[in-house]
Structure 1
């Protein structure tokens, strides 16, 4: 390494595998496609991608092993929200968990909180308003959200924030049906996500 060469910053991008009710998870497509689209867009930033299991048993092991191995400077999580029609950038994770909805292995989370003796919420540590503006530049309606749900998306953001990482979570809508004009198409969402990733890389 020369005197003027800085070690690259590291950004971890995650998506999720399919889960009950979501047989095609658009964030799985993102994780497969983005490495082919992004290599030439970054300087001094190492961008790494990972697909997370949608199981409670795999939640901590997958995320903690990834973080320990890759030691990213920041983490940007992507997930799908089945009822949303546009992109949402989550401003917080809440200390709640559903015991109603099973994971991909059919297992229900046994508790109503993610962590005992912990705060009610943990707040995103990346500049969510700047990420929102980056997404909007792709022409996709994008909002800030205070409700990341009580499923694995919320839990994943909670874990990253609890462990002290710069982190944020982006919810994308499901893939639209062919005649559905109320949701953005996948390519629009992908471009918005690229904008969000580029903005994140500039901010770390």
Structure 2
């Protein structure tokens, strides 16, 4: 079996009733299917290791052309595709299983960082043209979002059966900044750009700090 795109979002955490990442993913899938994109979604637990394991299981089963993992960045004011995942777990708060790893690798012995293979600058440019706040982010943090992002990129880079699958991570802000329908439309737009763009746009997307 193979599909066009697999999206993932997260379950609620830290006492919240919902997670905007899953709401956006859940709403984006029907819109993509209506446009002829074969899309599936999986909700991940906010747990170190468990979230990435569930995503890996789905990737192996569905063999998508594209994997877009989505998480919540409550303090941000824009939709932010991530540039690089780092091989580090350092939890400020416990995950939903009560784990609080400090200064541990995501994958022991693996490289320090792994880059997104999505056309992140082209995706940001498309959202900007649509009037949606968007920017390239240089860090996915050190919590479960980064854990899933790093594990996904490591999986796609090292498992021969998955060669050619592109993947990466996108953070969405809280619903009071960008509501779920807008975030869902933005995700669908980014997926469309990623499916049709192999070489990323050469645009500035760096940061001074």
TM-score of Structure 1 vs Structure 2, range by shorter chain: 0.7 to 0.9
1:57-68 alignment, distance < 5 Å? 57-68=49-60
Aligned residues: 190
Q: Following the alignment from structure 1 to structure 2, what is the Cα–Cα distance between the partners of residues 86 and 21? A: 23
Corresponding residue to 2:74 among 69, 79, 82: 82
Aligned to 2:178: 184
Corresponding residue to 2:89 among 73, 97, 109: 97
Corresponding residue to 1:198 among 186, 192, 196: 192
User: Given the superposition, is the C-alpha separation of residues 34 and 191 from structure 1 closer, same or farther in structure 2, using an over 3 Å criterion?
Assistant: closer
Q: Following the alignment from structure 1 to structure 2, what is the Cα–Cα distance between the partners of residues 57 and 121? A: 17
Q: Structure 1 unaligned segments of length 5 or more: list them.
A: 1-6, 177-182
User: Given the superposition, is the C-alpha separation of residues 138 and 190 from structure 1 closer, same or farther in structure 2, using an over 3 Å criterion?
Assistant: farther
**Structure 2 length as normaliser, TM-score?**
0.82
SS of the equivalent of 1:156 reads: helix
Q: Structure 2 unaligned segments of length 5 or more: list them.
A: 157-164, 199-209
User: Which 4+ stretches in 1 moved above 3 angstroms?
Assistant: none
Corresponding residue to 1:41 among 35, 44, 60: 35
User: Given the superposition, is the C-alpha separation of residues 57 and 94 from structure 1 closer, same or farther in structure 2, using an over 3 Å criterion?
Assistant: closer
| The structure with more radius of gyration | 1
Higher strand share: 1
Corresponding residue to 2:20 among 26, 30, 34: 26
1:26-175 alignment, distance < 5 Å? 26-42=20-36, 45-109=37-101, 111-164=103-156, 165-175=165-175
1:23-68 per-residue CA deviation (whole Å, 9 max, x = no partner) reads 32112212332233222212xx421111111112522431221112
1:117-149 per-residue CA deviation (whole Å, 9 max, x = no partner) reads 222210011111111112223311111111100
SS of the equivalent of 2:43 reads: strand
Aligned pair 1:14/2:8, yes or no? yes
SS of the equivalent of 1:79 reads: strand
CA contact (8 A) 1:99 1:112 kept: no
CA contact (8 A) 1:11 1:73 kept: yes
1:64-123 per-residue CA deviation (whole Å, 9 max, x = no partner) reads 211121122220111110211111110010111114321112222365221222222100
**Structure 1 length as normaliser, TM-score?**
0.84
Alignment root-mean-square deviation, CA: 2.1
